[in-house]
Structure 1
């Protein structure tokens, strides 16, 4: 059975060592799972019995396109008015427990591995109708219009129904599950699951215009961020600005997987003519 990491919550006792592995630089940030505790949660208007960890938010001069939350619904928790921004589109990926999503007139029972794309102005609600907490990742981005382009339709699917696409020349040890067609220009961001089998790696330092949020779902790896190699594991979050070099090498005999955000398919905004 596939399991997906989620923030642990709780609170370490007084024997804990406060010298941690969290990093924030001009090029990247690493938020280890151990930092996602009860005292670092946030609460939102319009949501009841709900708490969340804000993992990324637009910051001028850093990563500016998206926000990413890890949301925990207690039994009976949820919202009838979840999204305050009519221009925002979003993705939900369920990590633990279950929730009932209404989308227009349709109802969907979500479970671990469920994936939802919600276009701007979508009418939706989400509630935990079970007896255990539900945890999901919620990634939000304002839709960027382009001539002749309309937002994609809402979509509800599951990881099990999305094929692995192996990367070239890697003997199948590096693959991506793409929840949106990469050639469909209606999408101005993608959220994928990237999987490396033992022995897998990114064999060069990628450097590109896309911003990234990477939440480790399982396994361990050494990850290159700018000029630094960091060790990451389940529940750790990496946050990269554009052009930050990155690569990874899987450690151990377990597969390494992460949920990946990236912005795509739009012209670069230009500053004023001087």
Structure 2
């Protein structure tokens, strides 16, 4: 079983440690390195027990507005019988380390490291760590945007090992992605992919597009071009990108560079506030 969380978060640095880091918030992107995920910046959430939570991204006017993203640690027995307070919100969960169980409509789904779940808006669910080890996972929340004549999406429970990678052009394959949500299915208004690069491989152009991004570094290290800046990232770092932020990257080696990517898709832009 792969472990994407062989890093330490939480606690506090010593008084003798330097204050500087690569943490930055700009008008186009934010870098939240793993070094800033200390006990001081955790969030206590209603109806959760035995948990530690870091909110990495939240809807923010003038920046990225479609999603929130969390890093969670579940202690043995920890979890929630009422994790989602808003019936308009859909969820994507990716397990970084350990094991968990999600219950929907009296059906229990066991997830281990590399496991993925999509839970549609309005779906009641419960979550629990039933193992003897700490479980760490990512939770992405988005307000579902309905479309006339399009059915609501069903739940998904899968594992990265069950999905054939989609390879980008090039021989031998230098980069690709594991697509947890079918990119051709218009019932879904978000995509979550695990994108990987062999050492030295790159996104071969500077992307600029309407989708917002949350990128959590799963393994390895790489260098990202964000707007006009070069940023070095490694396992456990998080990038938060607003729409149209120019972006490209390459794998830094010596091993594979991999991250979990969120983006909003398949819908028209929303004009002004109010229900959709």
TM range (shorter): over 0.9
CA distance in 1, matches of 2:169, 2:266: 22
Deviation at 1:131, TM superposition (A): 1.6
1:115–1:156: 8 Å Cα contact kept in structure 2? yes
Give 3-state SS (helix, strand or coil) of 1:206's partner: coil
CA distance in 1, matches of 2:190, 2:171: 25
CA distance in 2, matches of 1:57, 1:185: 24
CA distance in 1, matches of 2:8, 2:245: 25
1:7–1:235: 8 Å Cα contact kept in structure 2? no
1:266 aligned residue: 267
Q: Give structure 2 stretches of 5+ with no counterpart.
A: none
Give 3-state SS (helix, strand or coil) of 1:160's partner: helix
1:150 aligned residue: 151
2:256 aligned residue: 255
Aligned pair 1:134/2:123, yes or no?
Answer: no
Aligned pair 1:191/2:192, yes or no?
Answer: yes
Give 3-state SS (helix, strand or coil) of 1:122's partner: coil
Deviation at 1:271, TM superposition (A): 4.9
Deviates more, 1:193-202 or 1:166-175: 166-175
Deviation at 1:169, TM superposition (A): 3.4
Give 3-state SS (helix, strand or coil) of 1:34's partner: helix
2:28 aligned residue: 27
2:198–2:253: 8 Å Cα contact kept in structure 1? no
1:7–1:37: 8 Å Cα contact kept in structure 2? no
Aligned pair 1:36/2:34, yes or no?
Answer: no
CA distance in 2, matches of 1:210, 1:266: 10
1:205–1:246: 8 Å Cα contact kept in structure 2? yes
Deviation at 1:2, TM superposition (A): 2.8
2:2–2:97: 8 Å Cα contact kept in structure 1? no
1:166–1:172: 8 Å Cα contact kept in structure 2? yes
1:197–1:254: 8 Å Cα contact kept in structure 2? yes
RMSD: 1.3
CA distance in 2, matches of 1:251, 1:20: 19
Aligned pair 1:4/2:4, yes or no?
Answer: yes
* TM-score between both structures, scaled by the size of structure 2: 0.95
1:207 aligned residue: 208
Deviation at 1:8, TM superposition (A): 1.5
Give 3-state SS (helix, strand or coil) of 1:39's partner: helix
1:50 aligned residue: 51
2:216–2:239: 8 Å Cα contact kept in structure 1? yes
